[in-house]
Structure 1
């Protein structure tokens, strides 16, 4: 009897927990779903209220984007985000490993200096970057944006990957050294294969920062290197706000990151917990 009551209570608690999770998920996703639905609405039905609840879906908002330079801005976003993320991982991961295994007294000071680039607000760097880029001819170029994103992503890579390396056992590395492996070979053959989940997590976060950046893309670009988030703002002009294009552009901006995150969700979850417990 007592067992059946406990089982019934467990089922009831599980049902309540699942219901709460579903409700919270709906509340969280509702604005995004509304945004996606709005991207398929004709202009006359977007603010039609209840009358616009039933509408005939159209792809006009999406097709009109490609005639407004949106395709080139998406390409700019993809290139700058991908290249800056790859470079940050190539440079920052060995740096994080070096800081994790360093024994010098200045190690903590160096770590704090690296973190300082992420602590200051972006607006503090806007004028220096603008003046230097104008002098060097990097305004409105993809290379200019890549350098900016790389600067900020490096600190993120170093701190996330260092936390992971601090939690990995060093016995395998020491065994490789005893067998005659060099430090670099140990890093490439032993350490990197174990850090796959952490690398994926760090890559997603770096890509998200670069892909969603608006401030630097607005400040340092004009036409040639304009990214998708800035291009969407151009649909808000003195003639009126083109809500259909804004919704369609925002949806297209969300799709690549969402698809990549779903494909890598297994590694993303593993990477979030990597290094949480030192062993």
Structure 2
């Protein structure tokens, strides 16, 4: 019963947003629960630039997540398995990159991107998210790699596998739950970002969170569009999480109980 109450409390704001998205614009603040659903809020989004902004968010978040995993997973494996001088210091400094507030890097990123010509580009925004997601990937995946017995890799070496063959065929499949959980977190952090997308984009690479702000105008707030856009923005994260939910649950609970 308590779990049901918590579930309702957590889902209530999202469900309220969804029903607002289907309300007629002239009844958006009507207290009556009964109304005739309409898709006017969603169809109105197709007439502006929101579709492009939504596509930008998908591309930026996916690209950032893929790059973060491609670079961070091997780095986490190296920090877990290879002993070299200063290994602990390297891991600590990687974590430090996530400790500073985002606003501390705003001016350096802005000036560097203006000089490099990366302002208002999808690639440039993905690279910014990459710098912050890397620390998450490395620290989370280190935990999962440590839970995989090194003896399994040694047995693969005896059977003729190289170091990276054992990594791809033995270690990485066993760490798949952690990989899924890490991928979801990276995608969510990139997808939900508003600050850097606002500072580093203008027109071409504007993402969905920034585009929603354009519906807040001095003449009035377009609540139907805001609700519809908010519902659409939430969908990719929900779909992605549902698709990997089996691995996600294992990944988030791994290491909570020791044998």
TM-score interval for Structure 1 and Structure 2 normalised by the shorter chain: over 0.9
Instruction: Give the structure 2 partner of residue 21 of structure 1.
Output: 3
**1:105 Cα offset (Å):** 3.5
Q: In 2, Cα distance between the equivalents of 1:149 and 1:66?
A: 27
Q: In 1, Cα distance between the equivalents of 2:257 and 2:157?
A: 25
Instruction: Give the structure 1 partner of residue 248 of structure 2.
Output: 268
**1:276 Cα offset (Å):** 4.0
Instruction: Give the structure 1 partner of residue 30 of structure 2.
Output: 48
Q: In 2, Cα distance between the equivalents of 1:28 and 1:193?
A: 33
Q: In 1, Cα distance between the equivalents of 2:111 and 2:80?
A: 36
Q: In 2, Cα distance between the equivalents of 1:158 and 1:263?
A: 23
Q: Which of 208, 213, 231 lines up with 1:251 in the alignment?
A: 231
TM alignment of 1:203-242, pairs within 5 A: 203-242=183-222
Q: Which of 95, 101, 115 lines up with 2:75 in the alignment?
A: 95
Instruction: Give the structure 1 partner of residue 104 of structure 2.
Output: 124
Per-residue deviation, residues 198-235 of structure 1 (Å, max 9, x unmatched): 11111000000001110000000011000000000110
**1:75 Cα offset (Å):** 0.5
Q: Which of 136, 140, 150 lines up with 2:120 in the alignment?
A: 140
TM alignment of 1:1-40, pairs within 5 A: 19-40=1-22
In structure 2, runs of 5+ residues without a counterpart are none
Q: In 2, Cα distance between the equivalents of 1:116 and 1:66?
A: 42
Q: In 2, Cα distance between the equivalents of 1:71 and 1:175?
A: 51
Instruction: Give the structure 2 partner of residue 186 of structure 1.
Output: 166
Preserved contact between residue 81 and residue 207 of structure 1 (Cα < 8 Å) = yes
**1:278 Cα offset (Å):** 6.1
TM-score normalised by the chain length of structure 2: 0.97
Instruction: Give the structure 2 partner of residue 158 of structure 1.
Output: 138
Structure 2 residue matching 1:123: 3-state secondary structure: helix
Q: In 1, Cα distance between the equivalents of 2:88 and 2:222?
A: 51
Per-residue deviation, residues 10-59 of structure 1 (Å, max 9, x unmatched): xxxxxxxxx1111111111111111100011112211122xx32211110
Q: Does 1:170 align with 2:150?
A: yes
Instruction: Give the structure 1 partner of residue 92 of structure 2.
Output: 112
Q: In 2, Cα distance between the equivalents of 1:117 and 1:102?
A: 22
TM-score normalised by the chain length of structure 1: 0.90
Structure 1 residue matching 2:98: 3-state secondary structure: helix
Which protein shows a greater Rg? 1
In structure 1, runs of 5+ residues without a counterpart are 1-18
Q: In 2, Cα distance between the equivalents of 1:222 and 1:239?
A: 22
Size of the alignment, in residue pairs?
Answer: 259
RMSD: 1.2
Preserved contact between residue 92 and residue 158 of structure 1 (Cα < 8 Å) = yes
